[in-house]
Amino acid sequence: MNPHLFENGWHPTAILGAMGAAAAAAKLFKLPGEKVCMALGIAGSLASGLRQNFGTMTKPLHAGRAAQNGVMAAQLARRGYTADPGIVEAKLGYANAFSGPGKYDLNKITANLGSPFDIVSPGVGLKRYPSCARTHPGIDAMLDLVEQNDLRPGDVESVACAGTYTTPTMLIHSRPRTALEGKFSMEFCLALALTERKVSLPDFRDQKVQDPKIQELIRKVTFSIRPDLNTIEHSGNPSTTVKVTLKDGREFTKTVDEARGTPNNPLTAEEVRGKYRQCVKGIQPQKEMEKTIELVGDLENLKKISTLADLLRGAQSR
Amino acid sequence: MNPHLFENGWHPTAILGAMGAAAAAAKLFKLPGEKVCMALGIAGSLASGLRQNFGTMTKPLHAGRAAQNGVMAAQLARRGYTADPGIVEAKLGYANAFSGPGKYDLNKITANLGSPFDIVSPGVGLKRYPSCARTHPGIDAMLDLVEQNDLRPGDVESVACAGTYTTPTMLIHSRPRTALEGKFSMEFCLALALTERKVSLPDFRDQKVQDPKIQELIRKVTFSIRPDLNTIEHSGNPSTTVKVTLKDGREFTKTVDEARGTPNNPLTAEEVRGKYRQCVKGIQPQKEMEKTIELVGDLENLKKISTLADLLRGAQSR
């Protein structure tokens, strides 16, 4: 369905996620095949989420709703609720409505399905930075350039970034005003990497985005489409090149094909733990934080999932 | 946005209804303008509903979800939740995503907005029959023909129905197998009108739809596009012609432009009361039924809406 789905303005996490969640919940409920179809049929009518809301609070809502919609669809199907059993491929159904008439490939849905599951290979990506994944290879490149060449923001004349043609359609906030918009801004993320030499959650604040020094750097960043990544076949390739030109004329260039945190370039276990600590700092007390890390690290041996759930909702400390 | 919205596979009740409900809830919350925009922005990302599910339980779910989505959007906006403030007209927004790029007319949204509100003029339609509104003029025509000419199902050779080109795209079940599919079947509704001389809720049962006599009549019904109703300008005109041909060669024809229950051809107050009694029979006890009718008939003088709400949820009888 992609990139048509995406180009039509839909947020894939929301639209595809509802179906994924419905399938997973239907599996957990051990529903028979016909009820799995009903669950997908219901989920198809619940799935929603517009990309225009990227950079607002509604964007993360899409992910939660996708999960909720899928679970609700499976719960309804379990109780005998009905929907069209061929919702994906039907004329007035899911794929046509979201991607456009015929702009999808049914074969790709079932090709290699479960052999292996994507969660096994290529595996799961874990984001190193709290921003849109499309900013990650650019951030990696900038951090490498800054560190290797000891670049200083004040010495920079311009930053030229180049990648696939779909990246600017995802990173819609080239002139961000809020932290949420900054998450969808290659310009802000590169300015932040150059200034702070790291890209971490505490810096995604409105104040930081509005900082005059950051705003000045944002205006120095341009994005262009790399000639080798201007076709639909390469639309999903996030390979990104960053070229920093200093005021003294020197140029530094770096290309990152696979960002840190992607399956082929995974984070270390300690980096994952570090990210968790960063995310819950000030929300979860230190002791519960470390206990959570311990339980998740040995999840397959956890006897009751409620032990983890209680910990996460702070039930023990109330 | 219509008929593009509709032709793309979306259920307008679900898609437009979410925005209507958000606007209404925002008004009741007395939200300031910018928060009304946020409510619409959130609702735009919640709105969903595929026409492929017409004829299944998921279709009526669309209406309830539209209301729920609108209320939730307004509640979130009231608490400061954010979304794109220009969701309707934005490039990656609501109108483009659901109708297709540029396939909408923004001017029509604001033209005559509130002067008067549609709820005042043309007014509200109340369905006489428990089936898709597009079946109603055809049903009216058939009931008139049956009554005026004392038609008997066994004497009928064929039934030719003709109307606007969008009607068959709404009535997608020309060969219905269930009662829910029968609601979206001109064929079933006309067969029922011819057989029962009325079209009422108790007859929308799977068993009735599957009745061999009804199925035989269904196969005698054809639908064609009336030449004067084959353009987009007339896409919303439900004027419908029914021609019944008897085995003895006699023909009877009737055209209904505005079905009973539409604002220009309203039901009487007693007919509305009768429909309510039909709908809640076996669900609400007689006494509560009549009390509900009394309260709704004088709604503007009801001191507390909870009096009605309690009555409807059966709180008094628990």
Longest C-alpha distance within chain B, in Å?
71
Taking the CA atoms of B129, B131, B133 and B135 in sequence, report the sign of the dihedral they define.
negative
Say yes or no to pLDDT of A201 above 60: yes
CA atoms within 13 A on the CB side of A96: 18
What residues pair up with B246 in beta bridges, in sequence order?
A: B156
Query: Do B72 and B139 have their domain in common?
Result: no
C-alpha closest to that of B34 among B87, B72, B71, B70: B87
- Count of structural domains, chain B: 3
Question: Between vectors from CA B77 to CA B71 and to CA B83, what angle results, nearest 5°?
Answer: 110
Considering only the beta carbons, identify the residue of B14, B47, B84 that sits closest to A56: B84
In a domain, A261, yes or no: no
Residues of B in contact with A9 (CB under 8 A): 91-93, 96-97
Query: Do A252 and A181 have their domain in common?
Result: yes
Query: Do B171 and B239 have their domain in common?
Result: yes
Query: Do B189 and B233 have their domain in common?
Result: yes
Say yes or no to pLDDT of B88 above 60: yes
3-state secondary structure of A158: strand
Task: Compute the distance between CA of residue A194 and CA of residue A149 in angstroms, rounded to an integer.
Answer: 11
The answer, for A210 touching chain B at a CB cutoff of 8 Å, is no
Cβ contact (<8 Å) for B92 and A45?
Answer: no
In a domain, A128, yes or no: no
C-alpha closest to that of B108 among B16, B22, B26, B33: B16
Q: What CATH number does residue B191 fall under? A: 3.30.1330.120
What residues pair up with A10 in beta bridges, in sequence order?
A: A50
How buried is B296 (Cβ within 10 angstroms: 0-12 exposed, 13-18 middle, 19+ buried)?
Answer: middle
Model confidence pLDDT, tens digit, residues B172-193 = 999 999 999 999 999 999 999 9
The answer, for A174 touching chain B at a CB cutoff of 8 Å, is no
Residue A3: band (very low, low, confident or very high) from pLDDT cuts 50, 70, 90: confident
- Name the residue with tokens 């399905």: A113
Task: Compute the distance between CA of residue A307 and CA of residue A294 in angstroms, rounded to an integer.
Answer: 12
3-state secondary structure of B208: helix
Residue B318: band (very low, low, confident or very high) from pLDDT cuts 50, 70, 90: very low
The answer, for B12 touching chain A at a CB cutoff of 8 Å, is no
Cβ contact (<8 Å) for A61 and B45?
Answer: yes
Task: Compute the distance between CA of residue B190 and CA of residue B198 in angstroms, rounded to an integer.
Answer: 10
Query: Do A79 and A8 have their domain in common?
Result: yes
Give the residue-averaged pLDDT of B59-68: 97
The radius of gyration of chain B from alpha carbons, rounded to an integer in Å, stands at 22
Task: Compute the distance between CA of residue A194 and CA of residue A147 in angstroms, rounded to an integer.
Answer: 9
Considering only the beta carbons, identify the residue of B8, B81, B93 that sits closest to A97: B8
To the nearest whole number, what is the mean pLDDT of chain B? Answer: 95
Query: Do A194 and A83 have their domain in common?
Result: no
Model confidence pLDDT, tens digit, residues B273-299 = 999 999 999 999 999 999 999 999 999
Say yes or no to pLDDT of A315 above 80: no
Query: Do A199 and A232 have their domain in common?
Result: yes
Model confidence pLDDT, tens digit, residues A67-117 = 999 999 999 999 999 999 999 999 999 999 999 999 999 999 888 888 998
In a domain, B188, yes or no: yes
Query: Do A222 and A274 have their domain in common?
Result: no
Model confidence pLDDT, tens digit, residues A208-239 = 999 999 999 999 999 999 999 999 888 888 99
Do A166 and A236 touch, CB atoms closer than 8 A?
Answer: yes
The answer, for A62 touching chain B at a CB cutoff of 8 Å, is yes
Do B47 and B66 touch, CB atoms closer than 8 A?
Answer: yes
- Provide the residue type at B20 as one letter: G
Say yes or no to pLDDT of B36 above 80: yes
Continuous H helices in chain B: 4-7, 12-28, 33-46, 58-78, 94-99, 106-110, 136-149, 167-170, 179-182, 186-196, 206-210, 212-218, 269-280, 286-297, 305-312
Is residue B244 within a helix (H) or strand (E), and if so which, with residue range? strand B240-246
Say yes or no to pLDDT of B314 above 90: no
Contacts with B, A 68-97, CB within 8 Å = 81-84, 87, 90-94, 96-97
Cβ contact (<8 Å) for A58 and B41?
Answer: yes
Do B56 and B7 touch, CB atoms closer than 8 A?
Answer: no
Listed in sequence order, the residues at least 6 apart from B224 whose beta carbon sits closer than 8 Å to its beta carbon are B160, B161, B162
The residue out of A214, A235, A256 marking a domain boundary is A256
Give the residue-averaged pLDDT of B94-118: 92
Taking the CA atoms of A182, A183, A184 and A188 in sequence, report the sign of the dihedral they define.
positive
Angle separating helix axes A286-297 and A305-312, nearest 10 degrees: 150
Task: Compute the distance between CA of residue B222 and CA of residue B175 in angstroms, rounded to an integer.
Answer: 11
Task: Compute the distance between CA of residue A289 and CA of residue A130 in angstroms, rounded to an integer.
Answer: 19
Is residue B161 within a helix (H) or strand (E), and if so which, with residue range? strand B156-163
Considering only the beta carbons, identify the residue of A47, A56, A92 that sits closest to B51: A92
Query: Do A249 and A298 have their domain in common?
Result: no
Task: Compute the distance between CA of residue A318 and CA of residue A185 in angstroms, rounded to an integer.
Answer: 39
Q: In chain A, which ranges are E strands?
A: 156-163, 221-225, 240-246, 251-256
Say yes or no to pLDDT of A261 above 50: yes
ipTM confidence: 0.87
Task: Compute the distance between CA of residue B318 and CA of residue B306 in angstroms, rounded to an integer.
Answer: 16
Listed in sequence order, the residues at least 6 apart from A90 whose beta carbon sits closer than 8 Å to its beta carbon are A84, A96, B52
pTM: 0.88
Cβ contact (<8 Å) for B93 and A47?
Answer: no
Cβ contact (<8 Å) for B58 and A81?
Answer: yes
Task: Compute the distance between CA of residue B1 and CA of residue B100 in angstroms, rounded to an integer.
Answer: 9
Query: Do B76 and B150 have their domain in common?
Result: no
Q: Residue B117 is encoded by which pair of tokens?
A: 């509100």
Say yes or no to pLDDT of B89 above 60: yes
The residue out of A205, A221, A256 marking a domain boundary is A256
- Name the residue with tokens 């059993």: A85
Considering only the beta carbons, identify the residue of A14, A45, A49 that sits closest to B50: A45
What residues pair up with A252 in beta bridges, in sequence order?
A: A244
Considering only the beta carbons, identify the residue of A8, A81, A87 that sits closest to B57: A81
Query: Do B185 and B281 have their domain in common?
Result: no
Determine the residue among B7, B56, B87, B173 to mutate to test chain A binding: the one whose Cβ has the most chain A Cβ atoms within 10 Å. Answer: B56
To the nearest whole number, what is the mean pLDDT of chain A? Answer: 95
- How many CB atoms within 10 Å of residue B111? 9
Task: Compute the distance between CA of residue B171 and CA of residue B54 in angstroms, rounded to an integer.
Answer: 9
Residue B316: band (very low, low, confident or very high) from pLDDT cuts 50, 70, 90: low
In a domain, A158, yes or no: yes
Query: Do B273 and B252 have their domain in common?
Result: no
Which DSSP state fits A107?
H
Q: How many CB pairs under 8 A join A and B?
A: 125
Residue A316: band (very low, low, confident or very high) from pLDDT cuts 50, 70, 90: low
Cβ contact (<8 Å) for A42 and B52?
Answer: no
Total residue length of chain B: 318
In a domain, B155, yes or no: yes
Q: How far is A215 from chain B (nearest CA, A)?
A: 22
Give the residue-averaged pLDDT of B29-58: 97
The range of the structural domain enclosing residue A275 comes to 269-317
The residue out of B110, B143, B171 marking a domain boundary is B110
Say yes or no to pLDDT of B45 above 90: yes
Q: How far is A170 from chain B (nearest CA, A)?
A: 11
The separation between the first and the last C-alpha atoms of chain A, rounded to the nearest angstrom, is 46
In a domain, B122, yes or no: no
In a domain, B84, yes or no: yes
In a domain, A119, yes or no: no
Listed in sequence order, the residues at least 6 apart from B109 whose beta carbon sits closer than 8 Å to its beta carbon are B88
φ, ψ of residue B102 in degrees (nearest 5): 75, 0
Do B239 and B232 touch, CB atoms closer than 8 A?
Answer: no
Model pLDDT, residue A318: 43
Give how far Cα B78 sits from Cα of A60, A64, B17, B26, B36, Å: 18, 20, 20, 8, 9
Cβ contact (<8 Å) for B53 and A84?
Answer: yes
Say yes or no to pLDDT of A317 above 60: no
Give how far Cα B223 sits from Cα of A199, B34, B124, B247, Å: 63, 48, 28, 19
Model pLDDT, residue B42: 98
Q: How far is A44 from chain B (nearest CA, A)?
A: 7
**Which chain A residue has the Cα nearest residue B66?**
A46
Model confidence pLDDT, tens digit, residues B212-242 = 999 999 999 999 999 999 998 888 889 999 9
The answer, for A42 touching chain B at a CB cutoff of 8 Å, is yes
